[in-house]
Amino acid sequence: MKIGFYPGCSLTGSSREYNESILAISKKAGIKLVEIPDWSCCGATAAHNLNRELSVSLPARNLALAESDGIEELVVPCAACFNRLTMTQHELNEDENLKSRITEKLQMPLKNNLKILNVLQYLEKYFVPRLEELIKKPFEEEEVACYYGCLLVRPSQVVKADRWEDPMNMDAIMRKLGAKPIDWSFKTECCGAGFSMSKTEIVGELSGKIVRDAANRGAKAIVVACPMCHSNLDMRRPAINSYLKTKVEVPVMYVTQAIALAMGVSAKEAGFQRHFVPVNLSVNR
């Protein structure tokens, strides 16, 4: 089976370390991800607030391109992209008239039957059953806060997230890597999302509460699966520290970077040098 890959805009720009780490662990595990040819922006996150048909057409084009390339499963690491592609698939399946209009606009056939996987679903299917053989350098039982954010688990009836208020699949992965996920209350709270540029003070407050709670509970790192969450929690640390009126050093990393370290991938290959807040976690040598 051909496993498709939709990086989206963030993974080719501001979140290159996410792209680098997922490709590194996939290669090391012998999995080939096939990038959708000529993919384009999915419209995340604001297009659906402005023009419904445009916001559906943008993700639908990528789904159609994947189908035409013979892809059956599509890995979408960005939580915002995953949300938009999954919501589009749902809307088109629920509204045949909308689907007809969109396919006419695209001038491309669209069966709309792709299996779309977010990064945690991809890891659960292709890595978790093999983690014992893949892990070379497990973590030294350091405590981490697994942060899922909004878009991986909402709307729950569409994305079919288990325990959408208290998801545990990232926690289970980190536990297998040798880390100790903490029990905390902010794992699905909003970090400020797309306000990162327009209303930085809001991001500082919302992300500040997340970072503060993780730090207060002893977490050595916050583990994420969303470029927007990573950007807000890592890059906006000055705004966070200003809101908290203190400097908080707890770093942020992608779950794929954590797996990369445990698999023996170098920190540089996994993109750790791109972080604003340095990540210093111990793995057994």
pLDDT in tens, 176-218: 999 999 999 999 999 998 787 778 899 999 999 999 999 999 9
pLDDT above 80 for 162? no
11-64 pLDDT, tens digit per residue, is: 998 899 999 999 999 999 999 999 999 999 998 866 677 788 999 999 999 999
Euclidean distance between CA atoms 205 and 110, whole angstroms: 42
End-to-end CA distance of the chain: 36
Q: Work out the pLDDT band at 1, boundaries 50, 70, 90.
A: low
- Examine the pLDDT at 151 and tell me if it is beyond 50: yes
For 90-239, strand residue ranges (E) read: 115-117, 143-146, 180-181, 221-224
Whether the bond into 45 is cis, omega within 30 of 0: yes
In angstroms, the CA 59 to CA 42 distance is 5
Distance CA 232, CA 14 (A): 12
Mean pLDDT over 242-268 rounds to 96
Mean of pLDDT values over 152-175 = 88
**For residue 285, what pLDDT is reported?**
41
The pLDDT > 70 percentage for the chain reads 97
User: Which pLDDT value is given to residue 45?
Assistant: 65
- Is residue 229 within 8 A of residue 147, CB to CB? The reply is yes
pLDDT average, residue stretch 219-238: 96
Strand 221-224 versus strand 252-254 pairing type: parallel
Q: What CATH architecture applies to the domain 134-273?
A: 3-Layer(aba) Sandwich (3.40)
Residue closest to 26 by CA, chosen among 144, 158, 140, 117 = 117
pLDDT band at residue 284 under the 50/70/90 scheme: very low
Q: Domain segments of the chain: what residues?
A: 3-119, 134-273
Supply the angle between the helices 255-262 and 119-126 in degrees, to the nearest 10. Answer: 30
pLDDT digits (tens, 9 = 90+) for 115-145: 999 999 999 999 999 999 999 999 988 999 9
According to the model, what pLDDT value does residue 33 have?
97
Buried b (16+ CB within 10 A) or exposed e, 234-243: bbbbebbbbb
Q: Distance between CA atoms of 256 and 22, rounded to whole angstroms? A: 6
Confidence band for 160, pLDDT divided at 50, 70 and 90: confident
- Mean pLDDT, the chain, rounded, equals 93
Q: What number of H helices and E strands is found in the chain?
A: 15, 8
CATH 1.20.1050.140 is held by the domain 3-119: yes
Q: Is 95 left (phi over 0), alpha (psi -120 to 50) or beta?
A: beta
In this prediction, what percent of the chain has a pLDDT beyond 90? Answer: 84
pLDDT at position 61? 97
Sequence-distant (6+) residues with CB within 8 A of 10 are 18, 78, 80, 81, 227, 228, 231
Task: Spell out the residues 6+ positions from residue 280 whose beta carbon is closer than 8 angstroms to its own.
Answer: 251
Is 95's pLDDT higher than 90? yes
pLDDT at residue 94 above 70? yes
Query: Residue 85 — very low, low, confident or very high, per pLDDT cuts 50/70/90?
Result: very high
The pLDDT assigned to 187 comes to 96
Query: How much is the pLDDT for 157?
Result: 82
